[in-house]
Chain A
Amino acid sequence: MSDDDAELWERVRAGDESALGGLFDRHEARLFRHARRLLTTREDAKDAVTIAFFELWRKRASVRLVDGSPLPWLLNTVSNAARNLERSGRRYRALIAHTPVGDHAAAARASDESGVLAALKRLPAREQSVVVLTILEGYPERVAAETLGIPVGTVKSRLARAKSKLRDEMAAMEASWA
């Protein structure tokens, strides 16, 4: 996969927008699935994916590929975009008094019965990124480190902190269900 990615990437770097479309075709499904994990609404997930590709295009001179693929970078950027969208979405929804709050809660429960993803979304960005890349997406710690531009040891320590916080979150959540 990375060979093909590398070829498309070279064209993207040269300003060939059709190659960006090629990368979109290759990775959209995985990125959309990832965005759906993090966002309550389908439309927000679509936005997060599209924003990530816009950012890829804008930052094409400096994006850090890992093993020849921009996918880890895109996954991380979708996470960042999702966080921003969720934040703005919360503000937006708060203004719409007649929007039934329960609908959003129900949607979240439907796709996250254990509440782990809800807890994941509350992690600081730097910790959420390592959980997404290493646990949810299955990349080796080396890849996560290269993607995020941090040492492997930092990936490990952030992962440990994230797990600890997730445990606390889950304990609190379970208590609230009791």
Chain B
Amino acid sequence: MGMNDDGLTPREHSEMRDILLAGTQRIRPAGARGNRIVAGALALVLIGAVSGAAIATAAIFGTQTTATTPTPSPVETVTPTPVPTPSPTTTSVPPEVPAEAVLPFGGECESALTDAEATTAAGMPMALSDYRWRTGADEVLGGIDCVWLSTEYYAAATVKVFAFPVEVVPSEVSEAVVAGCVDLGYETPTVQCSVAGVVDETWLLVRATGDPSGTTQAGTQAAFDRASANLAAFPAASPAVRTAAWWAPLDCDSLVGQIDAGSYGFERVALLDQQGSTSDGGGAPETIADAARSWCDFHFTAGSGDDSSGEVVRVTIVPGGAIAFPTAAATEDATPFSVAGAQDAVIVAGFDRYEGAGSVIVATDGVNVLMVTPDFIRETTDAGPIADTVFAQMHP
């Protein structure tokens, strides 16, 4: 299930809360005599009570149903799905020293908005939810992509800030932004308010999503104004200059022929049918970073008929993305790994900002970054031979 799926309705939330609070009067702490019996009996009552709505609650526990309690609203879930796209930079003559990108806000989301300012935009307490680590795609483009999530109610609201040099923002993205607030059409009233503009050659978008009672155009505008002022305090953003050492985009058709399906325990490997599809749509700001990365989905299969099986492995590269490799190596669960030809490699948890994700092999030659993501049910190390093969095929 994703964040958009139905949560509890306000009524359900209120009913469950009532049952919970009423139940605390009956439950003695663990260790007290007979508490297991009480808890067990209560759980049995509960099964009927939760399903039976507030009237049953009041009848069972002799309590009044309390007033409404704030309830989370479903919000837009955005899981960026990369699309193979050539690097936007075309400079063919490498400089003596590779020119690094200049990132807006100094590359720190905290410098774009404070939690309090994001709270103003969403109308409820918010906190920054940063990536666990970075792939280098934003960093290569000279951009930043920040998310604040509601702290008191899970997934009730989000505030997003996108800031990228104007020249790397596709027109289909900038033109797709609808200024103002739009109803997202969810069962629970949810609006998405957007304010975008260009500040010092940097395209800036502030987008707040949440309950219309708290998420407003005025609040979003205030956050945009604040972020604009903060942006002006930093050097103008600019993308990295491509060097001769940057890898070319992946050639999936060529690559699939190099991969030994047997090394991954299967008989065949082919490109997945949905290659290149994106759930965000071409106009979503989450797709801006696609210009800096390319990927292939390899579909491994074995057997046939009743004995068929299959798994998908995604291979992604970020030419020039090594600047962000230390963020992966520094994550809490990072495990050193070995990829043939790589200067350094680690296995780390996925970098999703909303939920968990399977682990990824991240390898670098000191300039570029390769990521290999097997199915989460697979031991990540099993994908080592695939990483070895792909790494050997990478070239400027």
Contacts and interface: CB of A to CB of B under 8 A. Distances in A.
Interface of A: 1, 4, 17-18, 20-21, 24-30, 32-33, 36-37, 43, 46-47, 49-51, 53-55, 57-62, 111, 116, 119, 134-142, 160, 163-164, 166-167, 170-171, 174-176, 178
A43 B155 contact: no
SS of A interface (majority): helix
Contacts of A171: 309
Contacts of B304: 178
Contact of A33 (B1, B24, B42): B1
A8 B153 CA distance: 15
Interface of B: 1, 3, 5, 7-8, 12-13, 16-17, 19-21, 23-25, 27-31, 35, 39, 42-43, 46-47, 50-51, 69-70, 72, 127, 132, 151-156, 303-311, 332-333, 349-350, 352, 355-358, 376-379
A61 B180 CA distance: 49
A54 B16 contact: no
30 contacts: A17-B24, A20-B21, A21-B21, A24-B16, A25-B69, A27-B154, A28-B8, A29-B7, A33-B154, A43-B50, A46-B12, A50-B16, A50-B46, A54-B42, A61-B30, A111-B1, A111-B5, A135-B356, A135-B357, A138-B357, A140-B349, A142-B332, A142-B333, A163-B378, A163-B379, A167-B377, A175-B303, A175-B306, A175-B309, A178-B304
Given A57-B27, A178-B306, A178-B308, A26 B152 contact: yes
A62 B29 CA distance: 10
A26 B154 CA distance: 7
Given A25-B152, A54-B39, A174-B310, A137 B46 contact: no
Nearest to A4: B151
Contacts of B24: 17, 20, 57
A170 B355 CA distance: 23
Contacts, number: 154
B20 A21 contact: yes
B20 A54 contact: yes
A119 B105 CA distance: 45
B352 A138 contact: yes
B16 A49 contact: yes
B19 A166 contact: no
B337 to A, nearest CB: 14
Nearest to A177: B308
A163 B379 CA distance: 7
B155 A30 contact: yes
B31 A61 contact: yes
A47 B46 contact: yes
Contact of B50 (A47, A119, A136): A47
A24 B20 CA distance: 9
A116 B51 contact: no
A140 B333 contact: yes
Contacts of A116: 377
A141 B331 CA distance: 12
Contacts of A36: 1, 5
A29 B210 CA distance: 14
Contacts of B378: 163, 167
A24 B17 contact: yes
Given A17-B21, A54-B39, A178-B304, 15 more contacts: A25-B17, A30-B155, A47-B50, A50-B16, A50-B46, A54-B27, A55-B39, A58-B35, A135-B357, A138-B355, A139-B356, A140-B333, A160-B379, A163-B376, A178-B306
A81 B208 CA distance: 35
Given A54-B20, A55-B39, A58-B39, A47 B47 contact: yes
A28 B13 contact: yes
A46 B50 contact: yes
A51 B153 contact: no
Contacts of B377: 116, 119, 163, 166-167, 170
B199 to A, nearest CB: 31
A60 B35 CA distance: 13
A101 B156 CA distance: 35
Contacts of B1: 33, 36-37, 111
A65 to B, nearest CB: 16
B218 to A, nearest CB: 26
B20 A29 contact: no
Contacts of B47: 47
Contacts of A136: 355-356
A170 B308 CA distance: 10
Given A24-B17, A61-B31, A178-B305, A17 B25 contact: yes
Contacts of B70: 25
Contacts of B307: 175, 178
Closest 5 interchain pairs by CB? A138-B356, A29-B154, A166-B377, A30-B154, A29-B72
A23 to B, nearest CB: 10
Nearest to B351: A138
